Amino acid sequence: MKVPSIELQNRVSNFQNRLQKSGIAGALLVQRADTLYYSGTAQNVHVYIPNVGTPIIMAFRDFLRAQSESPWVVIELQGMSKIPKYILDTGLTLPEILGLELDVLPVNQFERYRKLFPNVRFVDVSNEIRLQRAVKSKWELARLDESAQLHTFVLEFAKEILHPGMTEVELEGLLVGKARSLGHGGYVRMRGFDAEFHVGAITSGARAAVSSCFDGPVTGQGVSIAHPSGASMAQIKSGEPIVVDMVSVVNGYQIDQTRMLSLGPLSKDLIKVYEVARKVEEKIRCALVPGRVAGEIYEEIITWVHENTPYEENFMGYGTSQVRFVGHGVGLELDELPTISKGSKIVLESGMVVAIEPKFVFPGIGAVGIEDTVVVVDELGAKYISMSPRELIII
């Protein structure tokens, strides 16, 4: 599905307004999610956006695909050294101040830019890009709805195939295969340095309480030391809490969702924890009001868990592995803004999309929680994008 031209024009215009307010003459972008967002193609391109005028799309590989996918004029990039010439050839002057995505740009590539633009002052525009991308358009929300719909089919499939003796990896593989057959993009984009992710954490029992390098409350044990997150080779046992935390991706847009399953009934204690998790999720959803500060919502939720539950030490991880957030932005990447996290100063706006994930971790037993993707709407809070029923699924 192509991104509509008017959608791209609005995105570029919005970004140009941000550049003008900051006194930046132009920005040179290379991060895949950012270049896709402004150009409409996920090919290997450099995107130069002047603060006034038309973007320049410089495609290295594949030029022909980029040309067919983007409504902007696409130039074949025949070497980075030619980038200043391409800018001049369009009638523009070389910028005195040039914006770069310094949060993700490799140092060696930055050094090449310094040689190409010896008289330019470089500034970071990554935060402005991320804040812009945090607010989704109607077109983007429609893509997120498609992703949520895919998730409902995968969850129904999980109920059909789950059986005693199945390993976590087998369950994950079948669910991923089903998702791919329905149009799942196949991989999950992340922005964070050295961040690795595939489709989620399909994990059960005590293995769900094993912490890992990934910055999340529930990561799973993984299949090896080299791949220390997600599903393991262990068999799923009756009565264990099964975490199905999956990211679905359709047309580049991701939603993050967690549902709890079990083979046979869960203990009354774990059922009680799940009811608390659902209550916390609803509190977070109602608190996501335009104008509120994300960090203040985080503190409000942490205080409520402390004052109203006996699970404070198990909330969002355990011990030194507790994470300091209860929600994170999603869209073209899994780790977008805003984060509902400790100390965050971001002010919420209508159209921001957040995956809220209250989870409780009990070493030696497992993890219980829920996660849904929502969109900030109005004074009543956020609206669910996730479509799957939120009840425990007992097989």
pLDDT tens readout for residues 280-328: 999 999 999 999 999 999 999 999 999 999 999 999 999 999 999 999 9
Non-local (6+) Cβ contacts of 183 within 8 A are 150, 250
Cis peptide before 55 (omega within 30 of 0): no
Non-local (6+) Cβ contacts of 217 within 8 A are 316, 317, 322, 323, 357, 359, 361, 367, 369
Q: What is the pLDDT of residues 240-279, one digit of tens each?
A: 999 999 999 999 999 999 999 999 999 999 999 999 999 9
94 burial type by CB count under 10 A (0-12 exposed, 13-18 middle, 19+ buried): middle
Q: What is the pLDDT of residue 21?
A: 97
Q: What is the pLDDT of residue 199?
A: 87
Contact, 26 vs 88, CB < 8 A? Answer: no
Q: What is the pLDDT of residues 2-17, one digit of tens each?
A: 999 999 999 999 999 9
Q: What is the pLDDT of residue 187?
A: 87
Q: What is the pLDDT of residues 24-67, one digit of tens each?
A: 999 999 999 999 999 999 999 999 999 999 999 999 999 999 99
- Token pair of 252, please? 């580049």
Average pLDDT of every residue of the chain = 97
Give the pLDDT band of residue 197 (cuts 50, 70, 90).
confident
200 pLDDT above the threshold of 90? no
Beta bridge partners of 374: 354, 384
Q: What is the pLDDT of residue 347?
A: 98
Average of per-residue pLDDT across 376-383: 97
- Percent above pLDDT 70 for the chain: 100
Instruction: Specify the fold of 135-394.
Output: Creatine Amidinohydrolase (3.90.230)
Q: Can you list the positions of beta strands (E) in the chain?
A: 26-29, 44-50, 56-61, 74-76, 97-100, 121-124, 200-204, 242-250, 253-262, 325-329, 336-341, 353-356, 359-362, 366-369, 372-378, 381-384, 393-394
Q: What is the pLDDT of residue 198?
A: 80
229 pLDDT above the threshold of 90? yes
196 pLDDT above the threshold of 90? no
- Determine the Cα–Cα distance for residues 202 and 256; give it in Å rounded to an integer: 13
Residues constituting the chain:
395
pTM of the model: 0.97
- Determine the Cα–Cα distance for residues 222 and 224; give it in Å rounded to an integer: 6
Structural domain boundaries in the chain: 5-132, 135-394
Coil, helix or strand for 375? strand
Closest by CA to 204, choosing from 165, 175, 242, 235, is 242
Q: What is the pLDDT of residues 64-76, one digit of tens each?
A: 999 999 999 999 9
Do the domains at 5-132 and 135-394 have one common CATH topology? Answer: no
Average of per-residue pLDDT across 383-391: 97
- Determine the Cα–Cα distance for residues 390 and 393; give it in Å rounded to an integer: 9
Q: What is the pLDDT of residues 148-195, one digit of tens each?
A: 999 999 999 999 999 999 999 999 999 999 999 999 999 899 999 998
CATH class of 5-132: alpha beta
In the block, tokens 């262990």 appear at 234
In the block, tokens 């409902």 appear at 152
Q: What is the pLDDT of residue 83?
A: 97
How far from the centroid of its chain's Cα atoms is residue 315's Cα? 21
